[in-house]
């Protein structure tokens, strides 16, 4: 399973936004996020349009404008961000609506293994918040706790 740049960049940008907004509560310009994270501004604009439509960010116009988190970093999960930019979290080669990946519509021998892995990934990303990411509470730190 591979997470595309769409999902990875959305999470990177949202973590940057959460860190910059922490305490200040002011809007953060996409151009600043793009520069810090080395992501194309036009690509970020597309991602943030999706994030805004899904209610994860709010935009502010005018001087001092930019984006703010719509909810707290503690309540915004990584799974929400990934889903907001239409990133699938499947590990099987089957299309989401298909019965199976074989020519006759059957499931391959390893289908359940990859399907379970996809569910494990989904559960993990749903258990991690933006606050966990910016607070360094993921990976080894999280497993040790």
Please write the tens of the pLDDT for every residue from 100-120: 677 777 778 888 888 888 889
Which pTM was predicted?
Answer: 0.85
Q: Give the single-character DSSP code of 106.
A: P
| Domains defined for the chain, CATH in brackets | 5-144 (1.10.10.10)
Query: If DSSP codes are grouped into helix, strand and coil, which group holds residue 16?
Result: helix
The residue with tokens 């973590």 is: 15
The predicted-structure confidence for 121-144, as pLDDT tens digits, reads as follows: 989 999 999 999 999 999 765 555
Query: If DSSP codes are grouped into helix, strand and coil, which group holds residue 57?
Result: strand
Which of the listed ranges 56-60, 94-98, 116-120 does the model predict with the highest average pLDDT?
A: 56-60
């Amino acid at each position: 399973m591979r997470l595309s740049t769409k999902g990875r960049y959305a999470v990177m940008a949202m973590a940057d936004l959460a860190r910059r907004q922490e305490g200040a509560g002011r809007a953060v310009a996409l151009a600043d996020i793009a520069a810090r994270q080395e992501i194309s501004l036009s690509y970020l604009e597309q991602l943030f349009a999706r994030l805004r439509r899904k209610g994860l960010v709010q935009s502010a116009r005018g001087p001092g404008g930019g984006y703010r988190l719509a909810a707290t970093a503690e309540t915004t999960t990584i799974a929400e961000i990934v889903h907001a930019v239409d990133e699938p979290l499947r590990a099987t080669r089957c299309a989401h609506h298909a019965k199976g990946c074989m020519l006759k519509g059957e499931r391959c021998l390893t289908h359940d293994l990859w399907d379970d892995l996809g569910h494990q990934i989904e559960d993990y990303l749903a258990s991690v918040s933006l606050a966990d990411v910016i607070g360094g509470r993921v990976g080894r730190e999280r497993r040790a706790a």
